[in-house]
Structure 1
Amino acid sequence: MLFSEPGAHWRAVAYGPALCAAIVLIEWLTGSIVHGFALGFCAVAIGGFTVLQVIAGRAHAKVELTADTLVQGTQTLPVADIAEVLPADDDDAADARALGELSGVPRRRRGVGLRLADGGYVQAWAIDHAGLRAALALALAGSRE
């Protein structure tokens, strides 16, 4: 594995329930009415919705680069199909379609322009776009040796 981003972290599921537990503790310590049932219900609901978001993020926003393949969400691109990693300021990459099944580069991620062996242009993407760019350059150099 040359580069990896999971798309979402499971720790996010704990944030809502932990906040609800903190509110229950504060209510108990201050001697006010403890809304245990309502906050318990909210904790379960928030945790449940967050589980769905994490599952979707891990399926559609993950990035994995090996010496042979680049995975962007559910799309897999062989490294052999990549001709060049474009510079960050390249205009051809700005209008290229994003890899993966999403309509564009996912939120909080930046595109990395790629010229394909067939002459087309696409955008790979990652939160750590500089790290992905460096790993892609390394993978391309390794595949040409």
Structure 2
Amino acid sequence: MSDYIPKKRGLLILDWYVPINILLLILVMCVFFTRYTFGYGLLNGCLPADFYMIDHSDKTIKTGELIAFNMPKSVRFIPENERVIKIVAGVGGDKLKVTMDGVYNGDKFFEANARRISKKYSIPSILIEKELIIPEGEVFLIG
């Protein structure tokens, strides 16, 4: 019976295999979490999902894409330094038409229910509905 048991230890010995796998897993997690974090959208908002993976290395801003940032100052419903995820509805030079149903940027329409915000914070529709041109270096966000 002892003739069938190998005398040499095999390649998959647990003495070094498990620590190397754990070290490899920790390395992959460190690389992943230095580039990516996770964020969440507001419930009943106009974003297409509730949970997002945020890429810290992608700094491009294009119309129609989602961006994440820390709020630079407090507004009525978002405290300062809160992580915010929004949709870019327009960039510098774009001509927008803002309505109670959403934002038109040329032939693109970004749906946003401004009626809900208008009612909740007592903002008259005349302050929301307008046409504007986004100044260079600025963006128009919804969500």
Q: Same fold (TM over 0.5)?
A: no
Q: Which has the higher strand share?
A: 2
Decide which structure has greater helix share.
Answer: 1
When normalised by structure 2's length, the TM-score is: 0.28
- Higher Rg: 2
Task: With the length of structure 1 as denominator, give the TM-score of the two structures.
Answer: 0.28
